[in-house]
Structure formats: structure tokens, C-alpha cells
Structure 1
Amino acid sequence: MPKGTNQKFKLYRLAQIMMKKTDEEHYITMPEIKETLAEYDITADRKSLYNDLRDLEILGIEVEGEQDGNRYRYHVVNRPFELPELKLLVDAIQSSKFITEKKSNSLIKKLETMVSEYDAQKLQRQVYVSGRIKAMNESIYYTVDAIHNAISENKKIRFQYFQWNVKKEPQLRHGGAWYHISPWGLSWDDENYYLVGFDSEAGLIKHFRVDKMLRIALSNETREGREHFKKLDMADYARKSFGMFGGEEETVKLQVSNGLAGVIIDRFGKDVMMIPVDEDHFNVSVDVRVSRQFLGWVFSLGESVRILGPEAVVDQMKAETQRLIGQYDIK
């Protein structure tokens, strides 16, 4: 039998065919395999294909055959990801505000290659992202990678930081000055990605919106601030910082309507102690960084939540209330 010019790619093409054309519900027969290989100018006899299908297991591709009438049919089983898992990843990518629309579609296309062409269509029905408010900084994907590399290599990073002005233009902060920060972690909060690091010059832990960082580069300097982060639980830090805004950490006592028990648990976790006050309310003490954003969160819950203490925090809420009254000229 004359061999095709691409014979050396036979096993590679066979793997592609099996991964693309088969799944738990779709099979392929030996004649169909030979026909598809011929499209790549590859010829094969039945006996060699039996051996090749077994050899695919070396590549981590498990092929199963079953009798179908007077013929055999084959399909791939035990893929690295199940379809529901990939759907979950697609949803996570779509809902991630920090990933741009272009990068979202690119990542989803790559996920589609991990399933058959039939299951890929099921993912495609979920990939409509046009019109979503996504990040506009396309380089964020590589910024995150650079931060992880710096953490791995125990190095500082340098970058410029910007904010949007009223002309909808990025404007460099501090006149374009470079920030020199020791990166210690990344945190996800309020649909944004944040770098959490140590500013040696200020002697403080600071956080920065990753999508507002520009021209990031690794420094030759070794990271500093290890002693601060030894005592810091990153997840706890993010939970206490509303919208990742800073503030003095306080144990704040709240009186909450029973109907908002889920809101408290979602925000502070199931370990909080909710002490019944009466049939309709409970008290809870939570550790937070008191900021205008925290007060705004309490405000947004209306009469269902009331700050009981400490007195200084109650006074801050009263002052914020008076500021709003003055801002809107309420009499």
C-alpha cells in the first residue's frame, strides 16, 4: 500500500481526530478514521490503527471500543476536564471584570479545544460577552503573570499607576513617578484584581488595582516587608477591607435583622457568632477596616443594620450622615 507524504504525523493526527470527533455520545468507526486520515494524506491499514489506538494511552488519551451491530465503533473517555467543569470555567472567565473581552474570547476558544467539536458548540452558546463592561487594559493578563514571577523570584517590581480623568483618558498618578513595591499576593475583591504589597518608603502594606498598573518590570532588589506579611492572612485582609479601601481595623458590633443573616455570613463567613436579641434581630461583632466604604455598606442595608459600637465608629456614621444631609441640602 503506498504511504501518504504525511505518514510520520499519523499518531498525532489520529489523536486530533479522536479528541475532536468523539465524546461520550459520539463515536467513530474504523472506516471513518481511515477516511479522515486520508484528508491529511495519511494512509493506514486496520491492524496498524488498532495498535495506534492503544498507543494513544501513552499520550494520556484513553480510547474505548464497543460493538455496534456487525461493526466496532470508538470514542475517547476520561478527558482532563468534564463538560460541566469547562462550563464553570467559561462562566468564571465571562464574569471576571478584569479580563478584557478580547482575552475572554481567546481563553474560551482555547477551552473549546479540550472537548469534542460537538461539546464545543455547547460552550459556544455561552460565550456571548459583547457589551459587557470589561477591563480595558489588555496587558493585565501579562501584568498578573509578571507579579507571580516576581513573587516566585522574591523580587520587587516597579510600575506606573494611572487613573481615568473626565476626558476618559488614562492619567498617570504622581506625574508618572515609578512605584517600587514588594509584591506579596493578589486579591480578588468587588470584581477587581488587586496587588497587595509592601511599600518600603512608606513602611506600609498597600494595594493597587492590577488593571491600572502600567509598564511593570522586575527589579533587581529583593522583596522587603516579610515580617509584616508573616502576620497577615491575605483572605482575612481582603474580607476586612471593603472595596480594598484602607482604614483602622476595629471590632464593630452590629445589630442586624434576622432576614440579613445570609448577608452577614456571605461577607464575614460562618464562624461569626450571631447572638439573638429578640425575635427579629441578632447582634454580631465583626473585624473590619473602618472606611467610608464600610459605612456606605451599612447605609445600603437601611434600617436592617445598626452600628452599636465602638462609640467612635458610631460617631463616624453620624458625621457621614450629616455630610450627606449637607451635600443634598436636606432640611
Structure 2
Amino acid sequence: MENKLPTQFQIYSVLKQFSSADHPMNAAEIKEKLISMYHLPKGPDRKTVYSHIHELQVLSDNGILDCEIFAKKDDHNRTAGYYTDPVITKAEVKLLCDAIAYSRFIKKNHSIDLIKKIGGAFGKDFISKYKYILELKNKENKDYNDSFFNSIENIADAIEKGNKVTLQYLQYDLNKKLVPKDKENDGFRTVSPYNLVWTLNHYYLFCHVEEHGQDRFLRMDKIKNVTVLEDERIKPLPASFNVRDYIRNQAFMFGGDLVSISLRCEMRMLGQIIDFFGEDVEIAPIDDHYFRAHIKSSIESMKYWVLQYITAIDQIQPESLRKMIVHYLEDALRRNQ
């Protein structure tokens, strides 16, 4: 029996890369691409090409392929050629590819590979649009974490199984090289991993760090040498702990105990409050110029956020946060006079 799979999926690859609704491909064009791309001594004949395409359409109709295959009709209702249309929309793929291209922690070659995998269904022209953006990653004299994706895979596996992990946590030095964050234990920590979180243009691990006895957010691009401890179960979070609310109310990813925070804000802060803390954040009007925001977050997370917008925020509660903000401002004023 003829082995149809190589030729069939070579045809599928050609259609994915070079066809579109505006540029359908006929048998002769497909044959030409097959010969040039796969170095074939001769390509399949017209009947064989169309037979494979019809079988690919059956696979597509049954949801086995990642693209649908359509016939393009001419003015006389005859089939002029075939083209693929991805199941995922171009706008959805662009959103994902933009995030990869502009990320500051995925190195250039990994970015190219990912964009090819995700955007490949839209052809080479789509992928080539990212060439100049990706060239910028060459200009950074910066050390990238080559084990980034392996770390994600290992930690996701540990979260699913409910196991602890050991990992090495890093930071940048003055030479922009990744080095252990702590000299003690060469940066290695034992953690109970709970969630992987994408926020503030970075990927974080929310976990309990045994050495510190605290729940913390660790940057995934600064994690290396992950080992899953198969025989050690995670420290469980309290039954009343709502992970979604805890993560959502972190202005910056520092962790810490949740407290009730109250801020008087100028009206121009309304958009920022909703953007950071969600549409269900508790806000109450005071007058035409001010509103009060009530936020459940941690002091560690909120202190730098409040400083960022201090020209439009006052009447800060609790008192410990207010005193902290005042101290930072007085210290900054003293050092900059």
C-alpha cells in the first residue's frame, strides 16, 4: 500500500505556508513548491495532489488539523485552487506573537521558534513582519535564562502533582549577568509551588518559600535548576485562602499578608485604580474631585504603587502604610536637596 502520509502532509505544509484566500494554489503550483522545498526528483501528478487534498479536507472537517482547507471557485464556478484558513484567528495569533516578540526575558532564537510555531499557519509573510522587532533583542548585552521553558514545565508538573521543588533563584549583577540572589546555599531554595501567574509583563511563580517562611512571587525568568521533590508534599494554603483574589489585588508582585487599605484619590486616578485592581474594586465618591478606594492587598505590594501615584493620593490607611510612605518621601527629599 502506498505510504500517503509524507506527501499528504508535505502538501498540507505547502498550503499552510504559501496559500491564502487571495492566493489559492492549484496542483501545478503545489507540485512546484514540493519539488523545491523537499528536493523531490519529480512531484506528484495533478490527480494525486487533488486526491491528497480531498483526504486532508476530511481530516480538517473532523477537527484533526489546525487549519480548514477550502476550494476557491473562479467566475465559472470551477475550482481555481485550494487554500488553508487557520482555526485560530489572525488577531488571536498576533496577540500571542506580539507578547513573545516584545518580551524582555525570551531570547531571540526562542522567540523566533515560538513565533514560527504559533504563526506558521499564516505563512512566511506573517512571520517575517517580526524580523525587525526581534533584531532589537540582539542589541541587548544581557544574559538570558536558557532553562526558562524547562523550569515552567517542571514547576507546572509539580503544581499538578502537589509536590515541593528546589530551585535556584537569580538576579542581575552590574555586568547584566544572572547570578545567585543569595550567597547562602548558592541561591537554592525549597518552595511549595501554588500557581504560575502572568502579570505586569512577566511570568511569576506564587509559592511558599521555606527558608523565609513566607508566601512570595518569584520571577520565572530568574529561576534555574528546578528539581521536583517527588516524596515531599506542598505546604497547603489555608482553606479560606482565595488565590484568585490574592493575586488580583497585588499592585506589584511582592506577596505578604493581606490587609485592608484605604486611599483618598483624585478623580483622575479612577482609571488607574480600575486597571490595577479590577472592575469590582470597592470605590465610593466623596465629592466632585475625590473618591475613596478600598483595597485588600499587602503593604509590601502597595507601598511602591502608592509612591508612584502619590501626587493624586492622600489620607492613606492603615497608619503603618502612611508612615512608611511619609518616611520614603522625607528620605528622598533629604537626599536630593
Bucket of the pairwise TM-score, normalised by the shorter protein:
0.7 to 0.9
Matches within 5 A, 1:170-249: 170-172=178-180, 173=182, 174-176=184-186, 178-200=188-210, 203-228=213-238, 230-249=239-258
8 Å Cα contact 1:189/1:243 also seen in 2: no
Structure number with bigger Rg: 1
Aligned equivalent of 1:274, options 270, 283, 287: 283
Q: 2:165 aligns with which of 150, 157, 161?
A: 157
Paired letter, 1:54: H
Tell me the CA shift for residue 278 of structure 1: 1.6
Q: Name the counterpart of 2:63.
A: none
> Which is worse superposed, 39-48 or 77-86?
39-48
Going from structure 1 to structure 2, the CA distance change for 1:222 and 1:34 (only over 3 Å counts) comes to same
CA distance in 2, matches of 1:56, 1:73: 17
Q: TM-score of the superposition, structure 1-length normalised?
A: 0.84
Instruction: String of CA shifts for 1:14-39, please: whole Å, max 9, x gaps.
Output: 22222222112111223333444455
Identity %: 24
Note the 1:15-30 alignment, pairs <5 A.
Answer: 15-30=12-27
Q: What TM-score results when the alignment is normalised by the length of structure 2?
A: 0.83
1:99 and 2:106 are equivalent in the alignment? yes
Please name the residue that 1:262 is paired with.
271
Provide the aligned C-alpha RMSD in A.
3.0
Secondary structure at 1:312's aligned position in 2? helix
Q: Please report how far the alpha carbon of residue 264 of structure 1 lies from its aligned counterpart in structure 2 after TM superposition.
A: 0.5
Aligned length: 323
> How many Å apart are 1:134 and its aligned residue?
7.3
Provide the C-alpha distance between the structure 1 equivalents of 2:44 and 2:178, rounded to a whole number of angstroms. 59
One-letter identity of the residue aligned with 2:54: R
Match of 1:83 in 2: 90
80-89 or 60-69: bigger deviation: 60-69
| SS of residue paired to 2:70 | strand
Per-residue displacement from partner, 1:118-169 (whole Å, max 9, x unpaired)? 4444455664543469772121121111111111232221122233344545
- 1:306 corresponds to 2:318: no
Greater CA drift, 250-259 or 111-120: 111-120
- Mean CA deviation greater in 89-98 or 159-168: 159-168
The corresponding residue for 1:108 is 115
**1:306–1:6 CA distance, 2 compared to 1 (3 A):** same
Secondary structure at 2:9 match in 1: helix
Which amino acid counterpart does residue 9 of structure 1 have in structure 2?
Answer: P
Once the two structures are overlaid, the 10-residue window that deviates more, 151-160 or 41-50, is 41-50
One-letter code aligned to 1:276: P
Report deviation, 1:209: 2.1
CA distance in 1, matches of 2:107, 2:78: 49
Q: Render the CA deviation track for 1:45-100: whole Å, top value 9, x for unaligned.
A: 43333322210123324231412569632222431333222211111112333322
Matched residue SS, 2:329: helix
Report the CA distance shift for 1:207/1:31 in structure 2 as closer, same or farther (over 3 A): closer
Bigger Cα displacement from structure 2, 252-261 vs 201-210: 201-210
Unaligned runs of 5+ in 1: none
Whether the aligned pair in 2 keeps the contact of 1:112 and 1:123 (CA below 8 Å) is no
Q: How does 1:26-175 map to 2 (within 5 A)?
A: 26-39=23-36, 40-60=40-60, 61-68=68-75, 72-122=79-129, 124=131, 127-130=134-137, 131=139, 136-166=144-174, 168-172=176-180, 173=182, 174-175=184-185
Distance 1:93 1:198, change over 3 A: same
* Aligned 8 A contact 1:64 1:74 in 2: yes
Letter in 2 for 1:302: I
The answer on whether the counterparts of 1:137 and 1:211 sit within 8 Å (CA) in structure 2 is yes
Report if aligned partners of 1:196, 1:208 keep a CA contact under 8 Å in 2: yes
Contact 1:97–1:135 at 8 Å: present in 2 too?
Answer: no
The residue that corresponds to 2:7 in the other structure is: 10
Structure 2 residue corresponding to 1:289, chosen from 274, 295, 298: 298
**Of 164-173 and 10-19, the range deviating more from structure 2:** 164-173
SS across alignment from 1:162: strand
Report which stretch shifted further, 239-248 or 9-18.
Answer: 239-248
